[in-house]
Amino acid sequence: MQTQELTRTHDVIDPAILYFGTPVVLLSTVSVAGAVNLMPMSSAFWLGHTGVLGMGTRSQTYQNLADTGECVLNLPSATLVSQVNSLALTTGRNPVPQGKADAGYQYEPDKFRRAGLTPLPADTVRPPRAAECPVNLEARVADIYELEKDDSGTGAGAVAVEVTITCVHVHPGIRLPGTENRIDPDAWRPLIMSFQHFYGLGDRLHPSRLAAIDEEWYR
């Protein structure tokens, strides 16, 4: 009886998206011809120094990654929400794929300029870093996994791109004092996307027991 009562506390639904809250990434790439693109995304996670990026195959970013295999994952703070939002409904594809055009996307050849961000040279890859983002993760593509096939012929598939982080740049203000390679979680305030809306982090709720483990153990 108790199990049945607990079951009734939840409703069964079928959401179109499952964005329960992930950090925003501004992903910079270059085309074979050298054109720079900058795409906001939030389907990303990390394990060690491996990143996994989920994206549609209609984007110029996907094409650049498939062709050149290099990128920079620029992580904006919550204070950069307006700059990130200025890139919404823009694409580096010209002409704009019909499905994106129907949703209101427009071609933008210079997304750094549009967002008011400053490109900086990277150390290990060709795409530029975004100076204003507190974290820049240079990376190379390790593999691309097909998640959804494009059965319509419109290029509307989906992939997971596995990348290897090759260099990490951070603003001095988010480093943990007294350490060489750690981030201060109280100073780092990422921009979060949750169901198509932007959020920031609140104050720390409670120390985790995992904090008793030195971060170097994970290396």
Q: Is the pLDDT of residue 87 over 60?
A: yes
Q: What is the pLDDT of residue 219?
A: 81
- Give every CB contact of residue 104 below 8 A, 6+ residues apart in sequence: 89
On the question of a cis peptide bond just before residue 207, with omega within 30 degrees of 0, the verdict is: no
Q: What is the pLDDT of residue 151?
A: 64
Phi-psi region of 71 (alpha: psi -120 to 50; beta: other; left: phi over 0): beta
Q: What is the pLDDT of residue 72?
A: 98
Q: Is the pLDDT of residue 24 over 90?
A: yes
Q: Is the pLDDT of residue 155 over 70?
A: no
> Could you report the per-residue pLDDT of 166-193, keeping only the tens digit for each?
999 999 999 999 999 999 999 999 999 9
pTM exceeding 0.85:
yes
Neighbours of 75 (CB within 10 A): 21
Partners of 72 in the beta sheet?
A: 28, 138
CATH class of the region 23-200+210-218: mainly beta
Distances from the Cα of 162 to the Cαs of 53, 55, 105, 165, 189, in angstroms? 7, 11, 26, 10, 25
Neighbours of 19 (CB within 10 A): 14
Q: Is the pLDDT of residue 142 over 70?
A: yes
Q: What is the pLDDT of residue 1?
A: 52
Q: Name the residue ranges covered by the structural domains of the chain.
A: 23-200+210-218
Q: Is the pLDDT of residue 194 over 60?
A: yes
